[in-house]
Amino acid sequence: MAKIELKDIAHSYLKTPVRESDWALKELDQVWVDGGAYALLGPSGCGKTTLLNVMSGLVIPTLGRVSFDGDDVTSRKTEARNIAQVFQFPVIYDTMSVFDNLAFPLRNRNVDEATVRERVHEVAEMLELEGELNTRAQRLTADAKQKISLGRGLVRSDVAAILFDEPLTVIDPQAKWKLRRKLKQIHERYKLTLIYVTHDQAEALTFAHQVVVMNEGQVLQVGTPQELFESPAHRFIGYFIGSPGMNFLPCEPTEVGFSVAGHAIRVSDEIRAKITGREQGLELGVRPEFVRPANGSDQGAFETTIRAVDDLGNYKIVTCLLGDLEIKMKLPEDRAVPEGKCRVVFDPRMIRVYADGRLVS
Amino acid sequence: MDKWEDNRAWWLVVPVFLIVAISAIIPLMTVVNYSVQDIFGPGQRVFVGTEWFKEVLGDRRLHEALWNQFLFSGLVLLIEIPLGVLIALAMPKRGWSASLCLVLLALPLLIPWNVIGTIWIIFTRPDIGLMGVAINGLGLDFDHTAAPLDAWVTVMLMEVWHWTPLVVLLAYAGLRAIPEAYFQAARIDGASAWATFRYIQLPKMRGVLTIAVLLRFMDSFLIYAEPFVLTGGGPGNSTTFLSIHLVKMAVGQFDLGPAAAFSLIYFLIVLLFSWLFYQALQNVGTGNKR
């Protein structure tokens, strides 16, 4: 186990990167605490896998330093780093038995056979592979194969972290759920550092204590699932996390706060201090979960026109128009929605202000 | 849904059946026809049963050719398959150098077979050939028209030069098809280069190597043009392979009956060994017991 630090990491797959877009990773600092469970979330092609490969040494970063517990490993080869990685598609050695597959990383490191046997049995027990130890790995199902890939990481008692690169992509939903729970158990039992790449936000939010959101080669926010949900640091995260994404409405600063389409909204003095003097690029962000139809007593409600109601089973999404601005609200299934006009209010505690796409707080 | 008896779909098989009949069954039956009769001329023939088969099976010169043939095909497989895999492993993986290697390797495969024989005759001539002169210049007495061993060495060199590229191309394609994640996983598992080859590359090449072994076995077992042009089967009968012997029998001596009988035996040997190789390669390392 170790603390993994990435210092000023940047990587380009080109020999001579010129433009901004030539960089797969742009200037990145990140510390992975020993024993943490992290999810690395972001759209396809945002640099998640590159970041993972930088840590495992499969990619040597163009710039920056990687260290494990203060020990600089930047130029050290994968084989010499104590790290394990599980890939999107199960990698198994198909001519070997399950036992030999699990023993492979240890035997390569000249561990004595008695220890190998002990470790393999321990890991097999944990992964419920004991009955299949003598079977050829090739004959197993995709989820069992993925367990073997994971097991090859777990047998080594010295790994600094286990990196997962979208490991459940090819697993069917039932087995997916079981494997994910297994991972959680393993994490609780061994206190391993787990870094889990995914583009599936549900997977990230259930698995991790800390979620790292990336886009276009940059880390946009690191936080608990709740923080990401309630206070996205960036417009992108507001859209990317949550379904549907956050509502963003252009606004202008006023004496007491700002106004959206002519409606004044109060904000704290602290935030107002930060936005005074700004004329452009200000937006109000509010999640559809925190928008609701106004009661008679509500002050400062917006007059909107309902454009669409989508019933999604246990909840419904109502799309309202405020002038030509679109506001979505997420309501419980049994909540009645008025026809035509609807006055809506925002939960004042859940209103966020964004300047040029970044959270003002 | 009810099923009803209607076998008209069988008519769809007719075109395939016709093609196979014309390309394989009819010529083969002609050979069968010759193998069981003694034919003197049109309308003059005698049914001789298995007599020709008995004759060729007892033929000492044929035994010699058969032994030459097995030795040749065995050496071809033992040299070309490992060498081909080795070259494929050493080849660049991408870029212009990979394309260049592929083009250079494919060149011998594009040359007509009897031209290959001619090239090697000239190349190995002790008086003017580059290789012949070079070897004799080293003080070794090399002449493939006089010494059986020299003839064998020359034939093997020619064969390896001509056909190893095919094995390389197949093996290279097999290697390139292995997903990158396997190599990454091997690095994470701390596998040595040998372990990576033994447990990833070799098993993943099973399919292409099966094809390579079958093709090289069949082609080498049926080889005719190149050694015929190069050595004519000599010196003596030292490089007389089955095809050369067969042509001598059928065309040289016009012994159509024994030649036909032997053709059938020849065909069965190729079929049998191809099947054995196929079965062996399908099952090796999979734990299937047969």
Using one digit for the tens of pLDDT, what is the confidence trace for B153-163?
888 999 999 99
Q: Model confidence over A190-205: pLDDT tens digits?
A: 888 888 888 777 787 7
Q: Range(s) for CATH 2.40.50.140 in chain A?
A: 248-360
Q: Model confidence over A230-249: pLDDT tens digits?
A: 899 999 999 888 888 899 98
Mean pLDDT of A297-324: 85
- Between A170 and B189, the more confident residue is B189
Helix residue ranges, H only, B91-147: 96-110, 113-124, 130-137
Mean pLDDT of B14-40: 88
Which residue type does A117 have? R
CB proximity under 8 Å: B 229-268 to A: none
- Between B138 and B4, the more confident residue is B138
- Report whether A50 contacts A24 (CB < 8 A): yes
Asked if A85 lies within 8 A of B286 by C-beta distance, the reply is no
Q: Model confidence over A76-98: pLDDT tens digits?
A: 888 888 888 888 888 899 888 89
Mean pLDDT of A62-70: 86
Name the pLDDT band for B107 (thresholds 50, 70, 90): very high
Q: Range(s) for CATH 3.40.50.300 in chain A?
A: 4-240
Q: HSE of A95 in the Cβ direction (CA atoms, 13 Å)? A: 16
The architecture that CATH gives domain A248-360 is Beta Barrel (2.40)
The domains located in chain B, with CATH, are: 61-243+272-283 (1.10.3720.10)
Of B179, B189, B192, the CB nearest to A152: B189
Of A97, A108, A136, the CB nearest to B189: A108
Mean pLDDT of A144-151: 88
Average pLDDT value for chain B? 87
Mean pLDDT of B64-71: 90
Name the pLDDT band for B121 (thresholds 50, 70, 90): confident
Most trustworthy range by pLDDT among A1-5, B2-6, B65-69: B65-69
Mean pLDDT of A1-13: 84
pLDDT of A132 above 90: no
- Between B186 and A198, the more confident residue is B186
Count of CB contacts below 8 A, A vs B? 59
Mean pLDDT of B224-244: 82
Chain B residues whose beta carbon lies within 8 Å of the beta carbon of residue A79? 187-188, 190
Of B187, B199, B285, the CB nearest to A79: B187
- Between A105 and A256, the more confident residue is A105
| DSSP 8-state secondary structure symbol assigned to residue B111 | S
Query: Any long-range contacts for A216-221 (C-beta under 8 Å, 24+ apart)?
Result: A216/A26, A216/A46, A216/A47, A217/A23, A217/A24, A217/A25, A217/A26, A217/A28, A217/A46, A217/A47, A217/A50, A218/A25, A218/A26, A218/A27, A218/A28, A218/A47, A219/A28, A219/A30
Predicted pLDDT of residue B252: 80
Distance CA A127, CA A149 (A): 11
Q: Model confidence over A97-117: pLDDT tens digits?
A: 899 999 999 999 888 999 999
Chain A residues whose beta carbon lies within 8 Å of the beta carbon of residue B200? 93
Is the ipTM above a cut-off of 0.85?
Answer: no
Q: What percent of chain A has pLDDT over 70?
A: 100
Chain B residues whose beta carbon lies within 8 Å of the beta carbon of residue A158? none
User: Residue by residue, what is the 3-state secondary structure of chain A?
Assistant: CCCEEEEEEEEECCCCCCCHHHEEEEEEEEEECCCCEEEEECCCCCCHHHHHHHHHCCCCCCEEEEEECCEECCCCCHHHCCEEEECCCCCCCCCCEHHHHHHHHHHHCCCCHHHHHHHHHHHHHHCCCHHHCCCEHHHCCHHHHHHHHHHHHHCCCCCCEEEEECCCCCCCHHHHHHHHHHHHHHHHHHCCCEEEEECCHHHHHHHCCEEEEEECCEEEEEECHHHHHHCCCEHHHHHHCCCCCCEEEECEECCCEEEECCEEEECCHHHHHHHCCCCCCEEEEECHHHEEECCCCCCCCEEEEEEEEEECCCEEEEEEEECCEEEEEEEECCCCCCCCEEEEEECHHHCEEEECCEEEC
Asked if B191 lies within 8 A of A108 by C-beta distance, the reply is yes
Name the nearest CA neighbour of A307 among A323, A285, A287, A291: A323
Predicted pLDDT of residue A174: 83
Among all chains, which residue has been given the structure tokens 């053709």? B263
Predicted pLDDT of residue B1: 55
Mutate one of A49, A50, A58 to test the B interface: name it (highest B CB count within 10 A): A58
CA distances from A343 to A304, A316, A320, A348, B196 (A): 6, 17, 10, 15, 67
Name the pLDDT band for B290 (thresholds 50, 70, 90): very low
Mean pLDDT of A29-33: 86
Predicted pLDDT of residue B2: 65
Mean pLDDT of A331-349: 84
Of B182, B203, B287, the CB nearest to A91: B182
Predicted pLDDT of residue B101: 92
pLDDT of A267 above 90: no
Predicted pLDDT of residue A47: 86
Name the pLDDT band for B172 (thresholds 50, 70, 90): very high
Name the pLDDT band for B93 (thresholds 50, 70, 90): confident
Mean pLDDT of B137-154: 83
Chain B residues whose beta carbon lies within 8 Å of the beta carbon of residue A89? 179, 181
Q: What angle do CA A69, A70, A75 make, to 5 degrees?
A: 105
> Lowest mean pLDDT: which of A108-117, A243-252, B27-36, B142-151?
B142-151
Mutate one of B183, B189, B289 to test the A interface: name it (highest A CB count within 10 A): B189
Predicted pLDDT of residue B176: 93
Predicted pLDDT of residue A16: 83
The architecture that CATH gives domain A4-240 is 3-Layer(aba) Sandwich (3.40)
Predicted pLDDT of residue B209: 92
Name the pLDDT band for B71 (thresholds 50, 70, 90): very high
Predicted pLDDT of residue B283: 81
pTM above 0.80?
no
